[in-house]
Structure 1
Amino acid sequence: MEGRSNHGINPELVLAYKFPESSSRYTERDAALYALGVGACGRDAVDANELKYVYHSNGQQFIKVLPTFAALFILDCLPKLSSLPGMEFDPRLLLHGQQYIEIYKPLPAHSCIRNKARIAGLHDKGKAAIVEIETTSYADGSEEPLCMNRTTIYLRGAGGFSKSSPPYSFASYSGHQTPSLKIPKTQPFASYEDTTRPSQALLYRLSGDYNPLHSDPT
C-alpha cells in the first residue's frame, strides 16, 4: 500500500489500527436532553408529535428515542484520533464533515451500549485529509447490532501525504451506501422553514459534543 507520509499521516499505520471496544451507558434523561438540544418541542412545548421524545406522553412506559441519538455513540472515538499511530494533525482544525447512520432496530430508552469501531476510509484532499470511522453499536448482552455510524472527519491542514498520483483515497464500504442525489429542476411540491433558538447549541453540547464551535463566540 503506497502513501508514506511526510505530513503527519501514514496510511499504512492508520488503516492497520484496531480501536479497542468501548462501552457507554445512557438513561432516559440523556435521550430527552438530546431531543431538546436538537429542537424537540422548540416551537410548542406540548406538541403531541414531539412530546413523546421528552415525556411519558399518553401513559407510555418509556420515552421514544430519536434515531439520530445514535450519532452520540461515536463520541468516545473522536478524542482517540490524535493519538492514532501514523496520524498527526492539529485537533483545533478538526471538523465533523458528514454523518451516515443505519438503524437496525428502535433505540431503547436506556441502555448500556458496546461500540466496535474501525477506520473505514482515508482520503488525501490536498490541503486537508478526510478520515472515516465506522462504528457498530450493540445493546449490552446482545450480538445483534442496533445501529451503524459512519463518521466523516475533515482535518484541515493534514492533506498532501500522497506519494502517488492520483491522490491517495481508500474506502472499505460499497459505493451504493452513499448514493449521489440529483436535485430536480422542477419547483418543490412543498416547503418548510424552521429556526433554531439562540441558545440551542449550548443545550445540544450538554449531550457530549463539546466542540468549541457550539459555545465559543470567538
Structure 2
Amino acid sequence: MGQTSDFDPNLLISHKFPEVAHSYSERDVILYALGVGACARDAVDENELKYVYHEDGQQFIQVLPTFAAVFAVASFDFQLPGLEYDPRLLLHGQQYIEIHKSFPSSGCIQNKASISGLHDKGKAAIVEIEIESYEKESGELLCKNRMTTYLRGAGGFSKSSEPYSYSKYPNQPVSAVKVPKSQPFVVFGDCTQPSQACNIYYYFLIEMIPRWRTHTYTDILQHLL
C-alpha cells in the first residue's frame, strides 16, 4: 500500500495534535515495576522493593524512570493526518527518553505531541513522534519521549527523485568504536519470569488500552494474539 500522490508531508509535520491528559495511580506504577522485573527474584530485595512497597504508604514509593514511556503510548493514538498505513504493519523502531524531574507516585500528566521526523524509504515511511509530558497542576516539564516508528507500505510520497527526509534534530556524527579483543570483565544473564509476562499482559491489555482514545492498538494486539 503506497501513498496517494496528493499527500503533503509538510501538512503532517505542521499538524497541531490535541493535548491529552493522562492520569496514573500508585497501582499503575507498581504493576509496571512488577512487569519489568522488580522483586521477581527476591520479594524483599531492598534495592527493588522501593518501587512496589513503602512502609509509610504507597504514596511514597519511587517510580522507575522508564515509566515515562507509558505516558507516550497512553497519550498518542497514532492517527497521522494524510498518511495512510496499515496499523498491523507498524513497527516500533527506537525509543528516546529525556527525564527532567522525578515522577510523583501518582498524578495527572498533560501531553503535547508533535512530529519531529518524517522520512520516505520507498516502500515504507519512518515517523518520529515527540511527546512532552508536563505535570498538569504545576505545569513543570517531567519528561520528553521520542518514538521512532517504521510504517511498512506507507512510503513513496516523495515528489522528486530525492527521497523526502525531515528531522527536527540533525544527525549527530558518531565516532567509530573500537571493539576490544579481550574477554569481558563481567557477564550477566537474565530471563523474563512468568509473573512478569502476566503482569505486562494484564497492564497493557486490561489497564491501559481502555484509557486510550482509539482502538488502533487494540486491533494490533488482537491481531497478534
Question: In 1, Cα distance between the equivalents of 2:87 and 2:142?
Answer: 30
Stretch deviating more after TM superposition (194-203 or 45-54): 194-203
In 2: Cα distance, 1:181 partner to 1:59 partner: 49
**SS of residue paired to 1:203:** helix
Match of 2:154 in 1: 158
Task: Select the residue among 90, 108, 112 that pairs with 1:112.
Answer: 108
In the TM superposition, structure 1's runs of 4+ consecutive aligned residues that sit over 4 Å from their partners are: 57-61, 178-181, 209-218
Residues 1:154 and 1:59: Cα distance change in structure 2 (over 3 Å)? same
Q: Distance in 2 between matches of 1:50 and 1:150?
A: 27
User: Is the 1:7–1:158 Cα contact (8 Å) retained in structure 2?
Assistant: no
Aligned with 2:119 (options 113, 123, 133):
123
- The residue type equivalent to 1:203 in the other structure is N
* Partner deviation per Cα, 1:7-61 (whole Å, 9 max, x = no partner): 7853122112111111111111110111111111112222111111111158886
- Identical amino acids, percent of aligned pairs: 57
Q: Does 1:35 align with 2:33?
A: yes
**Match in the other structure for 2:213:** none
Q: Which consecutive residues of structure 1, in runs of 5 or more, have no partner in the other structure?
A: none
- CA drift of 1:201 comes to 3.6
- Tell me the equivalent position of 2:89: 93
Query: Does the C-alpha gap of structure 1 residues 106 and 77 become closer, same or farther in structure 2, counting only changes over 3 Å?
Result: closer
Partner of 2:137: 141
Provide closer, same or farther for how the CA distance between residues 26 and 170 of structure 1 changes in structure 2, counting only shifts above 3 A: same
Matched with 1:184 is 179
Task: Number of aligned residue pairs: give it.
Answer: 211
Please, what TM-score do these two structures have when normalized by structure 2? 0.81
Are 1:48 and 2:46 matched, yes or no? yes
Which whole-Å CA distance do the structure 2 matches of 1:96 and 1:149 have between them?
A: 13
- Return closer, same or farther for 1:77/1:112 CA change in 2, 3 Å cut-off: closer
3-state SS of 1:117 partner? strand
Q: Distance in 1 between matches of 2:72 and 2:19?
A: 12
Matches of 2:176 and 2:193, distance apart in 1: 30
Does the CA-based 8 Å contact 2:26-2:105 persist in structure 1?
yes
Cα distance change on mapping 1:142 and 1:86 into 2, 3 Å = same
Q: Note the alpha carbon deviations across 1:88-110, whole angstroms, 9 max, x for none.
A: 11111112211100001111111
Q: Structure 1 CA distance, aligned partners of 2:224 and 2:175?
A: 34
Aligned 8 A contact 1:134 1:150 in 2? yes
Deviation digits for residues 119-159 of structure 1, max 9, x if unmatched? 10011122221111111111122232111000111111112
Unpaired segments ≥5 residues, structure 2: 210-216
Counterpart contact for 1:18–1:118, Cα < 8 Å: yes
Q: TM-score, normalised by structure 1?
A: 0.84
Alpha-carbon RMSD: 2.8
